[in-house]
Copies of this chain bind each other. A is one copy, B any other.
Amino acid sequence: MSRSVILLSGGMDSATVLSIAQDAGEECYALSFAYGQKHDAELDAARSIAAQMGTHEHRVISIDLGQLGGSALTDASIEVPEAGGEGIPTTYVPARNTVFLSLGLAWAEVLEADAIYAGVNAIDYSGYPDCRPEYIAAFQSMTNLATKRTSEGKTLDIRTPLINLSKSEIVQLGASLGVDFSLTVSCYSADTTGAACGECDACKLRSDGFAKAGIADPTRYQEKA
């Protein structure tokens, strides 16, 4: 049985990726990050998903990206924008995927895992540079030179099975694998219970995904005043 590290954010994409890895017979080690997100709902969701889906182990690493600032997701002085702006939005967290994949690499080496799975998606995303296939390919090339494991001729694959799927295709795939999307939190401004704002980029992408997939949206939304 081969081992894999799964980057698990608590959102629907990484939950789907976890179900893909488990369906492929991998022994799954889920890894989440307390990186200075404005709320804990995302991490609570990751814990629920890891427990419900029966991962072999789930670790949460603390790393204070908020100390570095620069993102609406980690810096209280920057407001989360509504959906539909131009360019790379302020919700971009500088080098986030690089930092998370690097930590996945560290754990994968210790575990002697063959692969790291990440829910990176290049279609229905927010224009983040570190979600593109060419970025993932470059991270793989770097990985091949970075570690004791790869320098000894073993493989360590960066797997992003959702990279070319639309949000509705992800919904369909996850549903077919039995993912309980009601446990997942995508919203950039979720409240402490995980209820979604319905107005940010992540909420729009998610609700459009369910609508196009023809699957009922189990998302809990915040009650408006």
Contacts and interface: CB of A to CB of B under 8 A. Distances in A.
A145 interface: yes
> Which of A93, A95, A132, A148 has the most B CB atoms < 10 Å from its CB?
A95
A138 interface: yes
A98 B102 contact: yes
Interface in A98-154: 98-99, 101-103, 105-107, 109-110, 129-130, 132, 134-135, 138-139, 141-142, 144-148, 150-151
Contacts of A101: 102
Interface string A74-105: 00000000000000100011111111011101
A176 interface: no
Interface string A53-65: 0000001011111
A86 B63 CA distance: 34
A68 interface: yes
A118 to B, nearest CB: 14
A69 interface: yes
12 contacts: A59-B68, A65-B106, A68-B106, A94-B147, A94-B148, A95-B102, A99-B103, A99-B105, A102-B102, A129-B145, A135-B146, A141-B141
Interface residues of A, number: 43
Contacts of A70: 106, 109-110
A142 B167 CA distance: 26
A150 B135 contact: no
Given A61-B64, A139-B142, A142-B139, A148 B106 contact: no
A142 B142 contact: yes
